[in-house]
Amino acid sequence: VTPVQSLTAEQLYRRCDLSAHAFASTAELEGLQEFIGQERASQAIDLAIRMRRRGYNMFALGSAGTGKLSLVRKRVEECAAGEPRPPDWCYVNNFEHPSKPGVLRLPAGMGRTFRSDMQRFTDDLRTGLSAAFESEEVQVRRQRLTEEVQEQQQASLVELQEKARARNLALLRTPAGLAFAPLRDGNVLPPEEFEKLSAEDQERIKNEVETLQQELQRVLYKVPGWERELRQRMRSLHEEVTGFVLNDLMDEVVKRYQDFPQVLSYLEAVRKDVITHVLDFLGGEKSSEAESESPMTQFLNGKANPRRYQVNLLVDSSELAGAPVIYESNPTYLNLIGRVEQFVQMGALFTDFMLIKSGCLHRANGGYLILDALRVLTTPYGWEGLKRALQFGEIRIESPLEMLSLTTTISLEPEPIPLDVKVVLLGDRTLYYLLSLYDADFNELFKISADFEDELERTPTSELLYARVIAEIVRKESLRPFERSAVERLIEHSARIVADSERLTTQLRAIVDLMQQADYWAGQQEATTVASEHVQQAIDAYNRRLSRIEEKMREEVVRRTLFIDTDGEKVGQINALSVVQMGNYAFGHPTRITASIRLGRGEVVDIEREAQMGGPIHSKGVLILSSFLRARYELERPLSLAASLVFEQSYGGVEGDSASSTELYALLSAISGAPISQSLAVTGSVNQLGQVQAIGGVNEKIEGFFDLCAARGLNGEQGALIPSANVKHLMLKQEVVEAVRAGKFHIYPIETIDQGIEVLTGIPVGERQPDGSYPEGTINRRVVDRLKELAEARRKAEAKEGERRRKPALRRQPRGRQASAQ
């Protein structure tokens, strides 16, 4: 077995050395705006931007703080600046179906012009019409028309009156009509006088009255016809006058929109509508009255809304330089799709095309829309709305309540607007994989995924690039310049964040936070630049803020409430290294593992599992170490021991296999009786062949044990055993590095169980001789000897038991079945 050399101080922490580059602080360093280590994501973004096909939307996935939004936005904005401006979109009244406003598409900037043209048209129309209808000509013609009809009526009545008078009859007004009566001296003949008349006279008068009544009826029957004719003639007069005013104004507008057939057909509709509704817009006073009237009153009066010729400029691209890039931070359904607002009037809800409001899909149409995936998914109907718009390639404004048929008020169905937008969703990996697994539409609509790296390889080149990124952050965040030493310390910390001396984190948010805090500490000390001490201070302060529980646990060990030995030797007892993750913060904490053996049939009892406190990976580790034992020692005879393993004073669950090597050491110690040094702590998982494999959280584990030893006073013997595969992950804190340098603490890189047990017991493990035996005094020999003893003991015990059982069996037959059942 190759003896194990403890690691040197240099192997515990890979320093960053930028001295080859001549800069004293970031002030002298050119900032790097590019994102480093995100080539994969960058290429994906570029592809997504260039693919001009439906469905090539993008999902940018990666951990928080990797700069997804910044990178996507930067790339998209660069690209959008060179793209053409999208058109303007206007909603206008649909005169035939007011509940279905129409949409007009105009070149960027023209929407505004159209809006003001229509406003001017409406104003001019109103003034023009008032002037025309108040003109003497129109007044006189109207009056003449009315008078003609009146005269016609009157003439008929006068004629009748004359006829009556000639017969000495009068036409009288009665409470509800007209009647003829015989006259005498200008007054109606009293009935009693009438009685005195001769029968012929009476009959004559009666007949005359009847004849005249019939004539009167004929005249009155004609009245509605005359009135209808009057209305018709009035209408054609109005049309003639309106047409005169309108044609001039309309031609002016039409001239400017010759190239837009859609606009022209809208203007034609306006022309027809004005003629139909001319009276609603008439007169200075009347029109202001109409405007001050509530829509409710207008509605009840059947009047046309004076806003009907206005233009709702929904999307105004006039001020854009290129294609729009919109980041919507609150992607609710209404903010995405747009809405139709309503207002309350006398208890009823009213709306019209002017109350259609755009959503971010409208504003991003022809460009790019960046959204936070989780937010879209957590707002009601947000995700459904977005998908539907993308699937059908159009924005159809519908209230979610209407979709659910929960509302029945008057509402609008605006004509949908064609959608051409590139949507970029930002989110974490879990969300991406969940969506692609469970939402069939997702893969159709978001064909490009930009996967952001969490780390990048640490090389001298990447370190320099990283330094330039730091310089850029300093500039952007307006921080004090960072000295070179501070930059080096930051890069080292970046490696520590990813727990790998050969990698750097791309989660710049953590670095930015640290830089801001280091800058604060520099400010506290009135320094003009940020030095490495300030960075260290920020790291320490961060750890201190989060280390309450860690300190409490260590305190309990020091006070011997929790039993952890850090010196001496014990059989079947070992210090395991474990790591506790509390939110963003992880810390190492040693745990005592003990093993006990007794006569048995080779079973290893994992007490954690028995108590249902061990996770499946932990159980698997225990099973692996049991099979290692069998493989190595059960060659000649079955294992005749039973062993129990336990994590002492563990009250929560145990998970992970990083203690499996540790448990194996404890077991070997218990079997062989070789005591284990309590100055050492162990981590590492083991395979069936006895190889020690890499584990996670190696830095925290070592530091946790070191802190405990340091609290009790280092005795020079103390140290930790780690898998040699983890050496490259070491980025230990300075105290540990210094203690190792001073020879007060040792870290042993272990490859096999044999190496480990030798370090722990100080006893050679012993190699298998050609005859199958192990040399005297070695661990293996002690194990084998002990196993032999146990086997012998078991054999004897079983023989005795067998004898005891056989005797009663002579008396009672069913005994055998009972035994086999045991």
Partner 1 sequence: MDGDNTMENRIAQDTETTEEILVAVDASPHSLAALAAAADLAALLGQKLHALYVEDINLLRLAGLPFCREVGSYTASVRLLDTRSIERTFERSAAAIQRSIERVTQTRRISYTFRVVRGGVTDALAAASQSATFVSLGRVGHSPGRRIGSTTQMLLQRLERPLLIASASAQLRPPFTVLFSGSPASRNALQLAVNLARKNERVLTVWIWAKEQSIEQIEELLRGLVSPLQGVAFDGVLVQTSDQLHTLLAQHTQGTLILPVDQAEWISSVETAVIVAP
| Contact call for residue 206 and partner 1 (CB under 8 A) | yes
Interface pick for partner 1 out of 32, 170, 264, 275 (rule CB under 8 A)? 170
The residue among 69 and 157 lying less far from partner 1, judged by its C-beta, is 157
Can residue 199 be called a binding residue for partner 1 (CB under 8 A)?
A: no
Catalytic residue among 387, 422, 701, 733: 701
The only residue of 10, 96, 159, 210 in contact with partner 1, by rule CB under 8 A:
210
Under rule CB under 8 A, residue 605 binds partner 1: no
Q: Choose between 186 and 652: whose C-beta lies nearer to partner 1.
A: 186
Closer residue to partner 1, CB minimum distance, 69 or 220:
220
When binding is defined by CB under 8 A, the residue of 86, 102, 182, 690 that contacts partner 1 is 182
For residue 173, state whether it binds partner 1 (rule: CB under 8 A): yes
Contacts of 127 (CB under 8 A, 6+ apart): none
Q: What values do phi and psi take at 331, rounded to 5?
A: -80, 65
Is there binding between residue 220 and partner 1 (CB under 8 A)? yes
When asked if residue 514 is in the footprint of partner 1 (CB under 8 A), the reply is no
Residue 205 or 790: the one with the smaller Cβ distance to partner 1 is: 205
Sequence-distant (≥ 6) Cβ neighbours of residue 313 within 8 angstroms: 88, 89, 90, 111, 112, 114, 115
Q: Which amino acid is it at 648?
A: E
As measured in angstroms, the least distance from the Cβ of 153 to partner 1 is 4
164 contributes a contact to partner 1 by CB under 8 A: no
Q: For residues 274 and 304, give the distance between their C-alpha atoms in angstroms, rounded to a whole number.
A: 10
Q: Which strand (E) or helix (H) includes residue 54?
A: none
Q: Which of residues 362-421 bind partner 1 (CB under 8 A)?
A: none
* 175 binding partner 1? (CB under 8 A): yes
Distance between CA atoms of residues 785 and 759, nearest Å: 21
Q: Give first-to-last CA distance, the chain, whole Å.
A: 44
Q: How far is the CB of 129 from partner 1 (least distance, A)?
A: 18
User: How far is 311 from 115, CA to CA, in rounded Å?
Assistant: 5
**Cβ proximity to partner 1, 230 vs 431, nearer residue:** 230
Interface residue with partner 1, options 7, 58, 80, 189 (CB under 8 A): 189
Stretch that binds partner 1, among 93-101, 153-161, 548-556, 775-783 (CB under 8 A): 153-161
Distance CA 789, CA 791 (A): 5
Closer to partner 1 by Cβ: residue 151 or 513: 151
By three-state DSSP, how is residue 570 classified? strand
To the nearest whole angstrom, how small is the minimum distance from the Cβ of residue 322 to partner 1? 59
Give CA angle at 799 (796, 801), nearest 5°: 110
User: Least separation, in Å, of the C-beta of 288 and partner 1?
Assistant: 16
Indicate if 658 belongs to the active site.
yes
Is 198 among the residues that bind partner 1 (CB under 8 A)?
A: no
Q: CA–CA separation, 451 vs 44, rounded Å?
A: 8
Decide: 46 and 451 in contact? Cβ < 8 Å: no
**Does the footprint of partner 1 cover residue 181 (CB under 8 A)?**
yes
Site residues (CB under 8 A) for partner 1, limited to 301-340: none
| Comparison of 220 and 296: residue with beta carbon closer to partner 1 | 220
Question: Which of the ranges 44-52, 189-197, 393-401, 642-650 carries the binding residues for partner 1, by CB under 8 A?
Answer: 189-197
* Residue number, 3 or 191, with CB nearest to partner 1: 191
Q: 171 vs 61, 165, 191, 270, CA distance in Å?
A: 96, 8, 17, 51
Closest among 147, 150, 146 to 231, alpha carbons compared: 146
Minimum CB distance to partner 1, residue 190 (Å): 5
Q: Which of 221/438 has CB closer to partner 1?
A: 221
Is 153 a binding residue for partner 1 by CB under 8 A? The answer is: yes
> Alpha-carbon distance 105 to 88, whole Å?
6
Q: Which of 50, 166, 198, 221 binds partner 1 (CB under 8 A)?
A: 221
Among 47, 69, 145, 209, which residue sits at the site for partner 1 (rule: CB under 8 A)?
209
Stretch that binds partner 1, among 216-224, 328-336, 408-416, 700-708 (CB under 8 A): 216-224
Task: Kindly state the smallest distance separating residue 187's Cβ from partner 1, in Å.
Answer: 6
Among 6, 56, 65, 194, binds partner 1 (CB under 8 A): 194
The total of other beta-carbon atoms located within 10 Å of residue 730's CB is 24
Helix 261-276 vs helix 199-256: crossing angle, to nearest 10? 160
Q: Computed from CA positions of residues 207, 208, 212, 213, in that sequence, does the dihedral angle turn out positive or negative?
A: negative
* DSSP states along 459-499: -HHHHHHHHHHHHHHHHHTTPPPBBHHHHHHHHHHHHHHTT
List the one residue from 5, 53, 82, 187 that touches partner 1 (CB under 8 A): 187
Instruction: Name 783's Cβ contacts closer than 8 Å, sequence gap at least 6.
Output: 633, 668, 671, 672
Count of residues in contact with partner 1, rule CB under 8 A = 36
Stretch that binds partner 1, among 39-47, 204-212, 450-458, 627-635 (CB under 8 A): 204-212
CB of 207 to partner 1, least distance (A): 9
Choose, by CB under 8 A, the member of 22, 176, 406, 440 that binds partner 1: 176
Question: Which of 99, 116, 150, 294: binder of partner 1 (CB under 8 A)?
Answer: 150
Contacts 24+ apart (CB under 8 A), 533-537: 534/486, 535/482, 535/486, 535/489, 535/490, 535/493, 536/489
Residue number with CB closer to partner 1 (136 or 803): 136
Take residue 142 and report the two structure tokens written for it. 């109207």
Residues in the chain: 822
Smallest separation (angstroms) from partner 1 to the CB of 193: 9
Which one of 87-95, 104-112, 211-219, 773-781 is the stretch in contact with partner 1 (CB under 8 A)? Answer: 211-219
Query: Which of 658, 669, 672, 679 is labelled catalytic?
Result: 658
Measured CA to CA, the distance from residue 762 to residue 81 in angstroms comes to 71
Taking CB under 8 A as the criterion, which residues in 127-146 touch partner 1?
Answer: 136, 139
Closest to partner 1 by CB, 139 vs 265, is 139
Q: Measured between alpha carbons, how far is 284 from 142 in angstroms, rounded to an integer?
A: 18
Closer residue to partner 1 (CB): 227 or 248: 227
230 is an interface residue for partner 1 by CB under 8 A: no
Q: How far, rounded to the nearest angstrom, does the alpha carbon of residue 424 sit from its chain's CA centroid?
A: 11
Q: In angstroms, rounded to a whole number, what is the distance separating the alpha carbons of residues 323 and 609?
A: 61
Q: Which of 1, 69, 178, 355 binds partner 1 (CB under 8 A)?
A: 178
Residue with Cβ nearer partner 1 (234 or 355):
234
Binding mask 730-769 for partner 1 (x = CB under 8 A): ----------------------------------------
Task: Encode burial over 444-465: b for 16+ CB neighbours within 10 A, e otherwise.
Answer: ebbbbbbebbbbbebeeebbbb
Distance CA 449, CA 44 (A): 7
Strands (E) across 544-658 are located at: 569-570, 573-582, 585-599, 604-606, 641-647
Residues lying near partner 1 in the complex (CB under 8 A): 136, 139, 150, 153-154, 157, 170, 172-182, 186-192, 194, 205-206, 209-210, 213, 216-217, 220-221, 223
What is the set of active-site residues?
658, 701
